[in-house]
Structure 1
Amino acid sequence: MELLLVEDNKRISEFVSRGLEESGFTVTLAENGVDARSLITQRQWDLILLDIMLPDIDGIELLQYTRFKKINTPILVLSALGEPGDKVKALNLGADDYLAKPFHFNELVARIGALLRRTKNLDLIENILHCDDLVLYVDKHIVKRSNQEIKLTIQEFMLLKLLMENKNKVLSRTQILDTVWGVNHNSNTNVVDVYISYLRNKIEIEGCEKLIETVKGRGYLIRTKE
């Protein structure tokens, strides 16, 4: 799980990062609002831990910016501002949870787990597929990578959906052909290779990892680190 920690207090950030990494999470630290804003839009995060009192752009502005950009990543606010009004303001602006400092580390991990479970269940309900920073909304017929929408044809969408439903599993050309184009399609055609090329050109954004791999003599797969 990829977590973004936005915290300018070095003592707190080191304590939280070390503890979360020992708990199995991957943590990226942003020590100010400008860096955090850039990281929020560049990558797909599983969860954002957000301090309110930051240099330059404060946490409330970042929270509003994130939701304005239609980024629905769960946000857990960690703040020394513990008054009920502070919590209500953050929650009303789009935070998913609020934990006042100082806090017990076990409670932090428990709240992160609850938010991640809630997100996973919502994805199942809304029929959403993930592969690292690539997201496919099955029912809405929308594909995004690093929060940028990618326009696909029907066949491209069906091909990508098949690959994402079988992450890290090699699919033969025959399997792909039968599922996406139908069993009666000419098995000697190179249409699968052509559409794999189309997909790569669209989803392999500069600066992002390549996801679709060719396995010589066997077929194709979409690989994820998840």
Structure 2
Amino acid sequence: MRLLLVEDDARIALPTARALTDAGHQVDTQSDGVRGLDAARTGGYDALLLDVMLPGYSGFEVARRLRAEQHPVPIVFLTARDALHDRVEGLDLGGDAYLTKPFELPELLATLRAIVRRSETARSAQVAFVDGRGLLDARHRQVWWEGESVGLTAREYALLETLVLTQGRWFTRDELLSRVWGPQFGGEGRVVDVYISYLRRKLSPEALLSSRGLGYRLP
């Protein structure tokens, strides 16, 4: 899994990130709510591990803003606040799980597996796009266009899936670059234009809209 850990206490963040990495996961870290929200918005994460008491935005505020934007990333709150009303608030704001500190690594790993399974199940249905001319099966990573199977590379598929699962939203080059290629990618934004042209060639020229200053989206 690719995880984003937002935790301002280095005594917790460093060993937690190290343990998750040792367990085979890719972990990015942020130490305040503002940067954590910005990182989460870029997408590409299987789950967000979120402390509640953070500088900038609180963990609850980060979750509230993400859910208001209909961002689907699963959220696990990691916090010392164990009062019932805190747990209820966290879950009502869109959290998928609430673990109180100190927590054990096996419990955290099991929680992550469970919420990611639920997220994958929710995404398993086939999604139509461009007035039903296209069909994307997120679970099996397959695409059809006008009834014919379309062979896409892994990068082409990831780009199309991002646009299909957020139909109607404009994405700038930088946003797509961060979501599909990852925030550490050192290449130029023009690579997005190249892959958009690949998709248009394999689907249809009108399957993907572009607008100067706004970016790309589906019709």
Tell whether the structures are fold-level matches, with TM greater than 0.5.
yes
Residues 1:206 and 2:173 aligned together:
yes
Q: Taking every aligned residue pair, what percent have the same amino acid on both sides?
A: 29
Letter in 2 for 1:118: R
Q: Sort the Cα spacing of 1:177 and 1:93 in 2 relative to 1 into closer, same or farther, 3 A.
A: closer
Alignment of 1:71-110 (within 5 A): 71-110=71-110
TM-superposed deviation, 1:112: 0.6
Residue 50 (structure 2) aligns with: 50
Residues 1:165 and 2:142 aligned together:
yes
How many residues are matched?
168
TM-superposed deviation, 1:178: 8.3
Q: 2:148 aligns to what SS in structure 1? A: helix
Residue 5 (structure 1) aligns with: 5
In structure 2, what is the Cα distance between the partners aligned to 1:122 and 1:43?
Answer: 17
Listed as ranges, the gaps of 5+ residues in structure 2 are 151-155, 164-170, 182-190, 203-219
In structure 1, what is the Cα distance between the partners aligned to 2:107 and 2:149?
Answer: 46
The C-alpha deviation readout for 1:58-78, integer Å capped at 9, x for no partner, is 111111101001011110000
TM-superposed deviation, 1:24: 1.2
Q: 1:98 aligns to what SS in structure 2? A: strand
Letter in 1 for 2:142: E
Q: CA RMSD in A?
A: 3.5
The C-alpha deviation readout for 1:92-140, integer Å capped at 9, x for no partner, is 111111000011111111111111111122222xx15xxxxxxxxx14x
Q: 2:27 aligns to what SS in structure 1? A: strand
In structure 2, what is the Cα distance between the partners aligned to 1:88 and 1:17?
Answer: 26
Listed as ranges, the gaps of 5+ residues in structure 1 are 129-137, 142-151, 167-174, 182-195, 221-226
In structure 2, what is the Cα distance between the partners aligned to 1:116 and 1:73?
Answer: 9
In structure 2, what is the Cα distance between the partners aligned to 1:154 and 1:65?
Answer: 31
Q: 2:173 aligns to what SS in structure 1? A: coil
Instruction: Find the structure with the greater CA-based Rg.
Output: 1
Residue 148 (structure 2) aligns with: 179
The C-alpha deviation readout for 1:163-187, integer Å capped at 9, x for no partner, is 9417xxxxxxxx9898269xxxxxx
In structure 1, what is the Cα distance between the partners aligned to 2:118 and 2:137?
Answer: 23
TM-superposed deviation, 1:44: 3.0
Q: Sort the Cα spacing of 1:115 and 1:206 in 2 relative to 1 into closer, same or farther, 3 A.
A: same
Letter in 2 for 1:28: D
Residue 188 (structure 2) aligns with: none
In structure 2, what is the Cα distance between the partners aligned to 1:92 and 1:85?
Answer: 10
TM-score by length of 1: 0.63
